[in-house]
Structure 1
Amino acid sequence: MQKQPSSLAEKAYSVIEEMIVTLKLAPGTIFSEAELSREINIGRTPLREALQRLTSERLVVTMPRRGMMVTEVNITEHLALLETRRVLDRLIATRAARRATPEHRAQLADLAANLAAAARTQHTAEFMRYDRECDQVLEDASRNPFAARACAPLHAHCRRFWYLYQGNGDLGQSATLHAKLMDTVAEGNEEAAAAASDQLMDYLEQFTRAALEMF
């Protein structure tokens, strides 16, 4: 089950991150703290904390005397991001396979089924919500907070990339690869989990290169 924000700053972060990922705040959008505070109905102090975190994760940048701007997407840089994510995802997958509790394993099995159902109906927003929950359960199950904290913003960038270029993607194939990862972790098979993680990253790299060929 998706974690609930434990503070107003975390709530602000979660709301704004989703707005960025789903392109409600599209790349290049300039906004002010005051405008955003009114829109999401969260005070300026927790909002500022959330924006500082999003800035450190390169999802927003400060524009002197103009406000904040949602970062643009650079496809070449995204390939470098995937290189980094590949290493961290494999680590998280293998440690989750080793350390997951029975509750984690049951959650992963449920999420694999939910992802498949969302893919069948081509419901991208629902698919991405389940994708985020999968990441959170794997990160929690790995019991490696350093890897989890490093990987979380990379996943956010990848979800945004999918929204931008989803015409090149295949939700069904993505769901199948996610399910394989979830199943191998739930089974406690570290070697198979590492292989499944790499296969998913191979697909995401192919998806990114297909977007690059559009230009």
Structure 2
Amino acid sequence: MITEEQIQALQSEMEANGENQAQMAYRILEEMIVTLKLPPGSKISEKALNRSLGFGRTPLREALQRLAIEGSVKILPRSGVIVSEIDLADQLNMIEVRRELEKIIAGRAARLAMEDQRRVFSKLAEDFDRAAEENDSTIFIETDREFNALSIATAQNKYVAYAIGPIEAQTRRFWYLHFKRFGDLSRVTKLHAHIARAIAANDEAAARDASDRLIDYVEEYTRKTLQFMGGM
């Protein structure tokens, strides 16, 4: 779970990146929800968050509104804010949409990546390889976050960026809850490395194909999870 030290580190990183308080509050709250510091079904107290995170009412409410749009929380009149349950049965529907969006992002990123971006993608591929070799989920999570952000920025399509945001948020929650039991870290990490290398090579066809192979695997382990949990 995210600790106070990690929250402070996130705040320092975001301040260095020039993010405003609403953006900072969103990222911290999203991390707390994903890592179960705020588990499904729990009630969120704005006053408690204000005390622990140090943000004002307006940035917190903007962050909560964004999380509500993504489906991570529910804002209930006169009842406050509740962390949403994870809808297991809806995961495969989400993967169907995610497959097409991810393929668009990977293809456009490969086509449009400039030299400096290609260098970063090459470095990310190496980091994914290191995560696989060391079987280190922390390295994977940090690398994956940077990879996703760079891919979306490189793809230069605001409509895809808006569409993929809520899906990424719910994917992270599902991953955190179930991947250690049903997933293969080495395999998923290597699949990410293939996409990163294809983008670095400006190979659009290979990037789209590698994206498909990743989603094939995501669907495989999701079905395995749902079968075990009785969701299929």
Q: TM-score, normalised by structure 1?
A: 0.94
Task: Give the alignment partner of residue 196 of structure 2, picking from 139, 162, 182.
Answer: 182
> Partners in 2 of 1:23 and 1:123 — Cα distance?
20
Q: How does 1:80-119 map to 2 (within 5 A)?
A: 80-119=93-132
- Give 1:64 shift: 3.2
Task: Give the alignment partner of residue 127 of structure 1, picking from 136, 140, 153.
Answer: 140
Q: How many residues align?
A: 214
Q: Summarize the Cα distance change of 1:5–1:165 in structure 2 as closer, same or farther, 3 Å threshold.
A: farther
Contact (CA 8 Å) 2:69, 2:166: kept in 1 or not?
Answer: no
Report the 3-state secondary structure (helix = DSSP H, G, I; strand = E; otherwise coil) of the residue aligned with 2:38. coil
> Partners in 1 of 2:177 and 2:203 — Cα distance?
34
- Give 1:41 shift: 1.6
5+ long unaligned stretches in structure 1: none
Find the counterpart in structure 1 of residue 33 from structure 2.
20
> Partners in 2 of 1:132 and 1:73 — Cα distance?
21
5+ long unaligned stretches in structure 2: 1-12
**Structure 1 segments (4+ residues) deviating >4 Å:** none
In the TM superposition, what whole-angstrom CA distance separates every residue of 1:158-185 from its partner, at most 9, and x where no partner exists? 1111110021111100111000011111
Counterpart code for 2:31: E
- Give 1:81 shift: 1.0
In the TM superposition, what whole-angstrom CA distance separates every residue of 1:131-182 from its partner, at most 9, and x where no partner exists? 1111111101111121112112211211111110021111100111000011
Q: How does 1:1-215 map to 2 (within 5 A)?
A: 4=17, 6-166=19-179, 167-214=181-228, 215=230
Counterpart code for 2:142: R
Query: Mean Cα displacement is larger for which, 187-196 or 122-131?
Result: 122-131
> Partners in 1 of 2:43 and 2:221 — Cα distance?
28
- Give 1:80 shift: 1.0
Query: Mean Cα displacement is larger for which, 18-27 or 164-173?
Result: 18-27
Q: TM-score, normalised by structure 2?
A: 0.87
Report the 3-state secondary structure (helix = DSSP H, G, I; strand = E; otherwise coil) of the residue aligned with 1:78. helix
